[in-house]
Amino acid sequence: MPELPEVETVRRGLLPAMEGVRITRAELRRDGLRWPFPPDMAARLDGAQIVALRRRSKYLLLDTDRDDTLIIHLGMSGRMIVSGLQANHAPGQFHFDHPPTEKHDHVIFHMENGTRITFNDPRRFGAMDICTTATLDGHKLIAGLGPEPLGNDFSAPYLASRLKGRKMPAKAALLDQRIIAGLGNIYVCEALFRAGISPSRAAGRISAARIESLTTAIRATLLDAIDAGGSSLRDYRQADGELGYFQHAFRVYGREGAPCMTPDCKENIRRIVQSGRSSFYCAQCQR
């Protein structure tokens, strides 16, 4: 499932085609995805201008000039595909050779500038909903989310306060969206390695100094992944169809049995299963 870096990369790829542009028609080619679309969703989007394209956790947020916000979750295999926008994304330079509509193209946004944004999702685990912007923070998908790890509200003192006294493994705590929004399995594994913390260590037994390192590692890992366009393992593609490249920089994730990349470390990367998910780590470098 796409995590924060992948969703942020998609958001940035959509900006030239969507932000400040009017939707001439929102074409819903089925009744819903993970759950039904609101019955008035198309009517609320037809003719609306997108005034801002934001991200919250793993959700894309499209604010319109009608004081509505469209919430989009990519799910396991969802993709936002831009056509009609030249590859160099130069302002005002478009072409209009849209590809033929495919079976799993479930929602198509026809934009006033001639571009087309298609939501394609073979597994239909993605989701869309619309609400008034004023009520967004109370929406069932958004309410209760923790701070953004790249935002000002996320800090070592904050993380220390949320982990204090917790007996759950560090890995599980960092995956809790109520503590930190947007982190998933890949980037938690990578951040824990950078911070030298075992995924099995009790969250409440991480020292203040190591929490400081962990906070820095989380931010650095996410920023590096965004710079690389995210990680393409199965279905994920950027909005222009390109692959992400951060998977080539993985230090532990998916590297079970491979040598640790820390100089002078002679351990191989191990894998354990925690709450049904694989955790990859170095037993020598992470304590």
Mean pLDDT, the chain, whole residue set: 91
Q: Which domain holds residue 252?
A: 156-281
Q: For tokens 């006033």, what's the residue?
A: 112
**94's tokens:** 């478009």
Would you call 103 a catalytic residue per the annotation?
Answer: no
User: Both 43 and 167 in a single domain?
Assistant: no
- H/E run at residue 129: strand 127-132
Would you call 266 a catalytic residue per the annotation?
Answer: no
User: Both 45 and 83 in a single domain?
Assistant: yes
User: Both 275 and 185 in a single domain?
Assistant: yes
CATH number of the domain that residue 168 is part of: 1.10.8.50
Q: Residue 107 pLDDT > 50, yes or no?
A: yes
User: Both 181 and 219 in a single domain?
Assistant: yes
On whether the CB atoms of residues 48 and 36 are closer than 8 A, the answer is: no
The residue from 11, 56, 58, 171 that is catalytic is 58
Q: For tokens 């982190």, what's the residue?
A: 183
Q: Residue 278 pLDDT > 70, yes or no?
A: yes
Is residue 287 in a domain? no
Confidence of residue 263 (pLDDT cuts 50, 70, 90): very high
User: Both 118 and 226 in a single domain?
Assistant: no
The pLDDT tens digits for 111-136 are: 999 899 999 999 889 999 999 999 99
User: Both 132 and 194 in a single domain?
Assistant: no
Would you call 164 a catalytic residue per the annotation?
Answer: no
Is residue 274 in a domain? yes
The residue from 2, 5, 16, 147 that is catalytic is 2
Is residue 90 in a domain? yes
pLDDT at 229: 80
The residue from 3, 6, 8, 190 that is catalytic is 3
Is residue 50 in a domain? yes
User: Both 127 and 164 in a single domain?
Assistant: no
Output Rg (C-alpha) for the chain, integer angstroms: 20
What torsion, rounded to 10 degrees, do the Cα atoms 55, 58, 62, 66 define?
A: -100
User: Both 130 and 167 in a single domain?
Assistant: no
User: Both 202 and 258 in a single domain?
Assistant: yes
Is residue 144 in a domain? no
Domain boundary, last residue among 106, 138, 170: 138
CATH number of the domain that residue 93 is part of: 3.20.190.10
Would you call 3 a catalytic residue per the annotation?
Answer: yes
User: Both 9 and 134 in a single domain?
Assistant: yes
The pLDDT tens digits for 136-188 are: 999 999 999 999 999 999 999 999 999 999 999 999 999 999 999 999 999 99
pTM exceeds 0.75, yes or no: yes
Task: Work out how many domains the chain is built from and give that number.
Answer: 2
Long-range pairs, 250-254, Cβ under 8 A, ≥24:
250/186, 250/190, 251/190, 251/193, 251/194, 252/189, 252/190, 252/193, 252/280, 252/281, 252/282, 253/185, 253/186, 253/189, 253/190, 253/280, 254/280
